[in-house]
Amino acid sequence: MKFIGEFIILFGVWLLLTWSLAPAQLIAGVVISLLVIGLVGDMFLFKAGRALNPIRIFWMIMYIPYLIWYIILANLDVAYRVIHPDLPIRPGIVKVKTSLTTDMAKTFLANSITLTPGTLTVDIKGDELYIHWIYVHGNNVKDWSKAIIGRFEPILRRIFE
């Protein structure tokens, strides 16, 4: 089951990259997909039963425009700070606590944090994330957690847990 899922993903990426249905391309795609599965197939973090659940796929599709909206806000924020003559920055590294447990969810959370307003993940230890913030406000772990990850956690929990 895991093997079939991996093969579908790899062959789909091959089809997108070549974008042609010539027999030579298809045969090369099958051979290369099997080769990749044989070499590094064990490393995939893929569970077919969970990834193909329609509710999770629905929330995943809802999450993408939500994230893109916050990425655009982040860019306007950073661009404003860059071109302002006085450089209004107040940087620092803060710590937040997350309640997500699976590795996949934490990876997505860290990448979402890095792409959104003025925050950059420096390290993850267990359920604690260290985050470089370009304009720190608030003064304890609870405030920081609410301000930085409060808007992503509910949706990520629906997708991955």
Interatomic CA distance for residues 161 and 157, integer angstroms: 5
Residue 27: which residues within 8 A CB-CB, separation 6 or more? none
Q: Is 92 in the site for another protein (CB under 8 A)?
A: yes
Q: Is 94 in the site for another protein (CB under 8 A)?
A: yes
Output the smallest distance, CB 34 to another protein, in A.
21
Q: Which residue number, 41 or 118, has a Cβ lying nearer to another protein?
A: 118
Q: Is 140 in the site for another protein (CB under 8 A)?
A: no
Interatomic CA distance for residues 59 and 152, integer angstroms: 12
Q: Nearest 5°: phi and psi at 46?
A: -125, 125
Q: Is 114 in the site for another protein (CB under 8 A)?
A: yes
Q: Is 40 in the site for another protein (CB under 8 A)?
A: no
Q: Is 74 in the site for another protein (CB under 8 A)?
A: yes
Interatomic CA distance for residues 150 and 92, integer angstroms: 19
Q: Is 111 in the site for another protein (CB under 8 A)?
A: yes
